[in-house]
């Protein structure tokens, strides 16, 4: 009931602003600053932290934009309230990293009612949801590509990932939040790249670590204590790979220099510390998830909307393999 009231209130406020030409909006226009509302699914996420910092600094350098960035705290109800608040404030555009991709329709409906365009980032809504309105677009990367690159890095190793030489690549999969296509596709396509290369595989362990370093560490520790024949640990992102590396060290599967010994470890994102670990032999490889490219494209799309222009529905930035 409280929620319905809040929604109605937000809509009434938004419509009032539209109908009256908007006192607040007019003042902002007079000052020349356009208002940009940015919703991040969770501030406590290594990759999205780099992303939002780059987004803010790039956009601030392009003109007089009033950018407000809010933390959804991984709670969809909280994020919906934040969107309602932005709408009530009469922002000129929204940039939204959804907590739940499946909630895109709800967010689009609210934004459309107030005629505020939305740039969705990082968590891709379904194609059906993206077809709902011509003032929404998505900026991200094709997660299939990152999974394929992880698998190819392994397939390109001299032993094709078969660290113990028994003819089968036995792996552990530490997944991100499975509601997220990034987690689904990376899990599927990393293994597909191996089987496409004719490599025999066996999944020993697959669990969700929700993109989180501590969970990555705990899951890898559990897997390492249950199985002594793991060839490869695939993590859907680098934060979880950082945790998995700690577990690998604790399990003694490193040499005196901390290099991986008899096991391979893969991540995605190319966080600075992971790129360094790859160079030091502490990780086998990672995949650059280009937060700079993605945040710039997202800002460019937002600015085009504020200028009354249109955007392509899907705007995809490439991943890159990192192996040295
Ligand atoms: C992925 C990224 C993860 C995490 C996730 C959040 O693209 O690889 O590290 O940030 O987005 O949705």
Task: For 271-307, write each residue's pLDDT tens digit.
Answer: 999 999 999 999 999 999 999 999 999 999 999 999 9
Task: For 127-169, write each residue's pLDDT tens digit.
Answer: 999 999 999 999 999 999 999 999 999 999 999 999 999 999 9
> 79: Cβ below 6 Å to ligand 1?
no
Q: How far is the CA of 237 from the centre of ligand 1 (A)?
A: 7
Task: For 22-81, write each residue's pLDDT tens digit.
Answer: 334 444 444 579 999 999 999 999 999 999 999 999 999 999 999 999 999 999 999 999
> 171: Cβ below 6 Å to ligand 1?
no
> 286: Cβ below 6 Å to ligand 1?
no
Which residue's CA is the nearest one to ligand 1's atom 10?
47
Reading the block at residue 51, the tokens are: 């992303």
Q: How far is the CA of 191 from the centre of ligand 1 (A)?
A: 19
């Amino acid at each position: 009931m409280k929620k319905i009231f809040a929604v109605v209130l937000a809509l009434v406020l938004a419509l009032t602003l539209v109908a009256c030409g908007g006192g607040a909006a007019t003042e902002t226009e007079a000052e020349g600053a356009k208002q940009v509302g940015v919703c991040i699914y969770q501030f406590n996420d290594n990759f999205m932290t780099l992303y939002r910092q780059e987004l803010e600094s790039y956009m601030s350098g392009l003109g007089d934009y009033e950018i407000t960035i809010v933390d959804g705290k991984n709670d969809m109800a909280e994020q919906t309230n934040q969107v309602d608040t932005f709408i009530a404030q009469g922002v000129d555009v929204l940039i939204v990293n959804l907590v739940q991709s499946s909630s895109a329709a709800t967010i689009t409906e609210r934004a459309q009612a107030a005629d505020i365009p939305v740039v969705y980032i990082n968590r891709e809504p379904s194609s059906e949801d993206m077809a709902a309105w011509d003032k929404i677009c998505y900026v991200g990367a094709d997660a299939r590509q990152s999974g394929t690159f992880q698998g190819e890095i392994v397939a390109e190793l001299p032993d094709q990932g078969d660290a113990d030489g028994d003819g089968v690549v036995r792996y552990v999969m530490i997944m991100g939040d499975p509601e997220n296509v990034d987690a689904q596709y990376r899990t599927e396509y990393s293994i597909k790249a191996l089987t496409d290369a004719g490599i025999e595989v066996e999944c020993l362990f697959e669990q969700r670590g929700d993109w989180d370093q501590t969970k990555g560490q705990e899951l890898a520790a559990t897997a390492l204590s249950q199985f002594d024949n793991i060839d490869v640990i695939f993590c859907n992102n680098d934060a979880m790979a950082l945790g998995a590396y700690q577990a690998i060290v604790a399990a003694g599967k490193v040499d005196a220099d901390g290099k991986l010994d008899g096991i391979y470890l893969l991540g995605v994102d190319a966080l600075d510390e992971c790129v360094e670990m790859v160079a030091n032999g502490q990780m086998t490889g990672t995949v650059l998830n280009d937060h700079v490219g993605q945040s710039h494209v997202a800002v460019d799309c937002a600015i085009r909307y504020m200028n009354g222009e249109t955007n392509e529905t899907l705007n995809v930035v490439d991943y890159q393999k990192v192996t040295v």
